[in-house]
Amino acid sequence: MRDAIRRSIRWAQAGLLTNACLVVVKFFAGIIGHSNALIADAVESSADIFSSLIVWMGLSIAARPADEDHPYGHGKAEPLAAAVVSLMLLGAAIGISIIAVRDIRTPHHLPAPFTLFVAAGVIMIKEILYRRVSRVGREVGGTAIVADAWHHRADAISSLAAFIGISIALLGGRGWEAADDWAALVAAILVAVNGVRTLRPAIAGLMDEAPDRSVKERVQHAASGVDGVRSVENLNVRGSGLGFYVDLHVKADPKLPLDEAHEIAAKVKYAIFAAVPSVVSVLVHMEPYKENRKLSEDPVLSLPAV
């Protein structure tokens, strides 16, 4: 899990550096080239800088080991960071919309042709960054890093909208100046959709929603395969950051001595660790296994009628 967190932090840092450079390029290109869509895109990218910082901080806190005040670790910092990033996406969408609507109502100059090349370059860089960060997020199962990846995709989409709007404005000439503002408004809607999309898994992580069924099935299979285990019941798995916490009831022969039952519990724990490396803690409750008796043999139900 620590390796996964280190990889996530590295990509958060890469995103931070990339966004800082792109904000400067897009902002000055938008001002010099009279492209409001590109300026709005720079505003969205500035939100990306803060989101990358938040992801970086959230992952750093989540990597801290458990302590006296946080006996279950600091894993919740990761989905909390994802939720903040998602809300920032929604905030960026609102900000872009306000700027776009204002500029649609205000006449302005046609954008300069060179702004097309700036927008195209940004699209390529951010799409590549999205694909790399998204792949890392899927591999490590991190909601914050996935949210940060969608922030890069949102930036690529807003740059694409700027590219289309600038192209229409340049081809249409006078009277089509507002085309890039309408493009910025469309981009704001897409950014808002991405914000909502990434907010849901973040809230799910904060609410201890059960992970994908495949995780529970792998845990069940690993525990059931241990010698001496008769059955597995009350299996629960919850996520915390990039890891999982597992608790389950294991039934074994009731005639086993306490030390042998304890040994089975230890084997179950390590079998789960081996089957699902992202599990950080396993709590095993041992119970005596009893054969199901027939209904007629139940001493309560077979009492003579009075």
Q: What percent of the chain has pLDDT over 70?
A: 81
Contact 134, 146 (CB under 8 A): yes
> Cα–Cα distances in Å, from 268 out to 104, 164, 249, 254, 260?
65, 58, 11, 17, 12
Whole-number pLDDT of residue 156: 81
- Side-chain half-sphere of 285: how many Cα atoms within 13 Å? 8
pLDDT at residue 35 tops 70: yes
Q: In 3-state terms, what secondary structure has residue 288?
A: strand
The residue written with tokens 């009492």 in the block is 303
User: In this structure, what is the dihedral angle of CA atoms 168, 47, 62, 136, given to the nearest 10 degrees?
Assistant: 20
Q: In 3-state terms, what secondary structure has residue 237?
A: strand
pLDDT at residue 301 tops 50: no
Whole-number pLDDT of residue 303: 42
Q: pLDDT for 274-298, tens place per residue?
A: 998 878 889 999 999 887 644 444 4
Contact 180, 52 (CB under 8 A): no
Tokens representing 81? Answer: 């960071």
pLDDT-derived band at 72, boundaries 50, 70, 90? confident
Angle between helix 114-140 and 2-32 (nearest 10): 170
> Cα–Cα distances in Å, from 186 out to 48, 124, 157?
19, 19, 9
2-206 CATH: 1.20.1510.10
pLDDT-derived band at 97, boundaries 50, 70, 90? confident
In single-letter form, the type of residue at position 40 comes to A
Contact 266, 277 (CB under 8 A): no
Tokens representing 265? Answer: 């519990």
Residues pairing with 281 in the sheet: 245
Q: pLDDT for 210-235, tens place per residue?
A: 777 888 899 999 999 999 999 998 89
CA 100 vs. chain centroid, Å, equals: 29
213-290 CATH: 3.30.70.1350
Q: pLDDT for 176-202, tens place per residue?
A: 767 777 877 877 787 788 778 778 877
Select from 160, 217, 203 the least CA-distant residue to 184.
160
pTM: 0.58
Domain boundaries, the chain: 2-206, 213-290
